[in-house]
Amino acid sequence: MLSNSLIELDRAHLVHPVASYRGHEKAGVRVIASGAGATITDAAGRRLVDGFAGLWCVNAGYGQQSLVEAATRQMQELPYATGYFGLGSEPAIRLAAALAERAPGDLNHVFFTLGGSDAVDSTIRFIRYYWQAKGQPQRDQFISIEQGYHGSSTVGAGLTALPAFHAGFGVPFDWQHKIPSHYAYRNPVGDDADAIIAASLAALDAKIVEIGGPERVAAFYAEPIQGSGGVLVPPDGWMKAMCDRCRSLGILFIADEVITGFGRTGPLFACTDDGVVPDLMTTAKGLTSGYVPMGAVFLSDAVYATIADAAGTAAVGHGYTYSAHPVSAAVGLEALRLYEDGLLANGVKAGARLMAGLHALRDHPLVGDVRGRGMLAAIELVVDKERKTPLPAAAEPSRRIFDRAWDNGLVIRAFTNGVMGYAPPLCCTDDDIDAILERTARTLDQTL
Ligand code: PLP
């Protein structure tokens, strides 16, 4: 049983990420005590299906003993090694090599971080360095997409386009620009794929002109599927079209795969779905299946060589104490083995069942849109399907939907705009997926 004192201690001392501090104090924490497969158990002993894999990160599921053993072995042998001073550790080197071998195109160079936000932050530093090295320091403007999320670091939060991450924090900076999202369900040009792609290209072109021409633009950032914006799936060909346009203008194209990497949409990296080879790519979350913190920035041969040659014998002054942490790297190597030994394949199978089941809910009076790919999905609730009228925020705040699903034994993400998000572990069985679907239907019926 959860003692009241734990709730009190949390209330008094633990500052939670992205939370209403006062709201949380009032509600009190829900403590998760353990997990196995796709299931978590709370401190009161209630079992729930985790339809969101923690924070879309526990891709391998809970209780994977080989991940625990990899961490234990590495901790016993060498719990820490720095990458500074020309030093390194075997798991970090092997993981970098394994990732480079599997990454699209010539993304052959890997810089390890602690998570996604510092991976995005690192790309900004690498890109600025790159353009200085190319003799084009005026390429210092960055473009990303409305509803996009690129983390919560001081600088990277300005590439993020969710208002909660801006208000009161002094971002975005004036060199951080946005173009509208491809969001098919509410796109002013409708849901036709060609029209959406044309509109995104036109918006990018117009933004580049507004900024002062392509020679001012350093980079364009895109998530293969916009996650935190509400699981917004671009039409097939959208990434490729945007990447090609950037390349034709000499603008670096960055794929932020922090959510979509490591089997979330099917393959190891979602940009391969569209045949895209970005100039830089960010990952985290599934890299270690959330068991230990780690992120990674992938750099193309050309980006890496330009930075390396410009620096010459001087240090490229970017790095962290915990870059390439050996314990995280050992877990990453084992996670990669698990993905390739069956988890990716199971995720594809389970994802098809999940998507089919969610599409079957389309006839529910509240379900306006169903979207997703693989084990990344969402349903968008509306009160009027014809007019696509969102749920009134005051009457049905996302917290209530989350709570109702929780009471039904299901963890989902309830976005503020009436969107229910799904990112279950790739190890889900048919029964797990069916439980997610049945509990979703029950939650919807109770929301009517
Ligand atoms: N980029 C994307 C696309 C993300 O979804 C996230 C987190 O959800 C981040 C970056 C930031 O990652 P982290 O929370 O590990 O710092």
Give the model's pLDDT for residue 395: 58
To test ligand 1's pocket by mutation, which of 52, 285, 289 has the most ligand atoms within 8 angstroms of CB?
285
Give the model's pLDDT for residue 206: 98
Nearest CA, atom 14, ligand 1:
116
Residue 192 contacts residue 241 (beta carbons within 8 Å)? no
Rounded Cα distance, 221 and 157, in Å:
13
Give the model's pLDDT for residue 392: 79
Please identify, by atom number, the ligand 1 atom nearest to the C-alpha of residue 118: 16
Please identify, by atom number, the ligand 1 atom nearest to the C-alpha of residue 153: 16
Instruction: Give the Å distance between the CA of 55 and the centre of ligand 1.
Output: 9
Decide: 121 in ligand 1 pocket, CB within 6 A.
no
Instruction: Give the Å distance between the CA of 278 and the centre of ligand 1.
Output: 18
Rounded Cα distance, 427 and 289, in Å:
12
Decide: 230 in ligand 1 pocket, CB within 6 A.
no
Can you say whether the dihedral through the CA atoms of 164, 167, 173, 175 is positive or negative?
A: positive
Nearest CA, atom 12, ligand 1:
116
> Per-residue pLDDT tens for 214-259?
999 999 999 999 999 999 999 999 999 999 999 999 999 999 999 9
- The b/e string for 237-269 (b: 16+ C-beta within 10 A; e otherwise) is ebbbbbbebbeeeebbbbbbbbbbbbbbbbbbb
Can you say whether the dihedral through the CA atoms of 385, 388, 394, 400 is positive or negative?
A: positive
Pair of tokens at residue 346: 């199971």
> Per-residue pLDDT tens for 161-172?
999 999 999 999
Decide: 254 in ligand 1 pocket, CB within 6 A.
no
Give all domains of the chain, ordered by start, each with its CATH number. 4-64+342-447 (3.90.1150.10), 67-339 (3.40.640.10)
Give the model's pLDDT for residue 417: 86
> Per-residue pLDDT tens for 35-58?
999 999 999 999 999 999 999 999
Give the model's pLDDT for residue 391: 85
Confidence band of 397 (pLDDT split at 50, 70, 90): confident
Nearest CA, atom 1, ligand 1:
150
Please identify, by atom number, the ligand 1 atom nearest to the C-alpha of residue 285: 15
Nearest CA, atom 13, ligand 1:
116
To test ligand 1's pocket by mutation, which of 120, 144, 298, 320 has the most ligand atoms within 8 angstroms of CB?
120
Q: Which residue has the tokens 């696509």?
A: 388
307 three-state secondary structure: helix
99 three-state secondary structure: helix
Residue 337 contacts residue 81 (beta carbons within 8 Å)? no
Q: How many CA atoms lie within 13 A of 445 on its CB side?
A: 7
Instruction: Give the Å distance between the CA of 151 and the centre of ligand 1.
Output: 5
Note the ipTM here: 0.99
Helices (H), 43-115: 53-56, 65-77, 90-102
Decide: 120 in ligand 1 pocket, CB within 6 A.
yes
Length of the chain: 448
Rounded Cα distance, 400 and 187, in Å:
27
